Amino acid sequence: MKRGARPALRQAQRAVLRALAVFCVAGALLTGCHEETGGRQTLTFWTFGREGEAMQALLAPFEQAHPGIQVRVQQLPLSAAHQKLLTAYAGGSMPDLMQLGNTWLPEMVALDAVEPLDARVAHSTVIQPADYFDSIWATNRIDGRLYGVPWYVDTRLLFYRVDLLRQAGFDHPPRTWAEWRQMLAALSDPAEHRYGILLPTNEYEQLMSLALEQPDPLLRDGNRYGNFESAGFKRALSFYVDTFRLHQAPAISNVVAGNPWEEFGRGVYAFYFSGPWNIGEFRSRLPASAQSTWDTAPLPGPDGPGTGAAGGASLVIFRGSSHKEAAWALIQYLSEPAVQRRFYELVGDMPPRRSAWAGGALSRDPKAQAFRVQLEHVKPTPPVPEWERIANEMQLAAARVIAGELSVDQACAALDQRVDAILEKRRWVLDHRKEGR
Residue type at position 338: A
Residue type at position 26: A
Q: Is 258 in the site for another protein (CB under 8 A)?
A: yes
Of 203 and 213, CB closest to another protein: 203
Is there a contact between 48 and 73 (Cβ–Cβ < 8 Å)? no
Shortest CB 402 distance to another protein, Å: 9
Q: Is 301 in the site for another protein (CB under 8 A)?
A: no
Give Cβ neighbours of residue 81 (< 8 Å, ≥ 6 apart). Answer: 48
> What is the pattern of x (binds another protein, CB under 8 A) and - over residues 206-245?
----------------------------------------
Dihedral Cα 195, 198, 199, 200, nearest 10 deg: 120
User: Among residues 63, 70, 75, 110, which is the contact residue for another protein, using CB under 8 A?
Assistant: 110
Q: What is the pairing mode between strands 40-48 and 97-101? A: parallel
> What is the pattern of x (binds another protein, CB under 8 A) and - over residues 399-428?
xx--x-x---------------x---xx-x
Q: Which stretch binds another protein (CB under 8 A): 18-26, 35-43, 106-114, 182-190?
A: 106-114
Shortest CB 86 distance to another protein, Å: 6
Q: Is the dihedral of CA 408, 226, 371, 206 positive or negative?
A: negative
Shortest CB 112 distance to another protein, Å: 6
> What is the pattern of x (binds another protein, CB under 8 A) and - over residues 112-131?
x-------------------
Q: Is 202 in the site for another protein (CB under 8 A)?
A: yes
User: Among residues 162, 168, 246, 396, which is the contact residue for another protein, using CB under 8 A?
Assistant: 396
φ, ψ dihedrals at 311, nearest 5°: -105, -175
Of 109 and 362, CB closest to another protein: 109
Q: Is 83 in the site for another protein (CB under 8 A)?
A: yes
Of 126 and 252, CB closest to another protein: 252
Q: Is 362 in the site for another protein (CB under 8 A)?
A: no
Q: Which stretch binds another protein (CB under 8 A): 53-61, 127-135, 163-171, 398-406?
A: 398-406
Shortest CB 90 distance to another protein, Å: 6
| Site size toward another protein, by CB under 8 A | 30
Shortest CB 66 distance to another protein, Å: 33
Is there a contact between 376 and 216 (Cβ–Cβ < 8 Å)? no
DSSP output for 247-291: TSS----HHHH--HHHHHHTTSEEEEEE-THHHHHHHHHS-GGGG
**Three-class SS state of 81:** helix
Buried b / exposed e over 100-120, threshold 16 CB at 10 Å, is bbbbbbbbbbeeebbbbbeeb
Shortest CB 431 distance to another protein, Å: 12
Residue from 272, 274, 241, 292 nearest 402 by CA: 241
Of 171 and 192, CB closest to another protein: 192
Of 109 and 329, CB closest to another protein: 109
Task: Compute the 3-state secondary structure of the chain and give helix, strand, coil in percent, each to the nearest 5.
Answer: 55, 20, 25
**Three-class SS state of 350:** strand
Q: What is the pairing mode between strands 378-379 and 308-309? A: parallel
User: Among residues 37, 253, 291, 363, which is the contact residue for another protein, using CB under 8 A?
Assistant: 253
Residue 426 Cα distances to 107, 116, 175, 295, 381, angstroms: 11, 21, 38, 43, 17
> What is the pattern of x (binds another protein, CB under 8 A) and - over residues 9-48?
----------------------------------------
Of 175 and 389, CB closest to another protein: 389
User: Among residues 44, 201, 321, 332, which is the contact residue for another protein, using CB under 8 A?
Assistant: 201
Is there a contact between 297 and 373 (Cβ–Cβ < 8 Å)? no
DSSP output for 149-206: EEEEEE--EEEEEHHHHHHTT--S---BHHHHHHHHHHH-BGGGTBEEEE--TT--HH
- Return residues touching another protein (CB under 8 A): 82-83, 86, 89-90, 107, 110-112, 201-202, 251-253, 255-256, 258, 385, 389, 396, 399-400, 403, 405, 421, 425-426, 428-429, 432
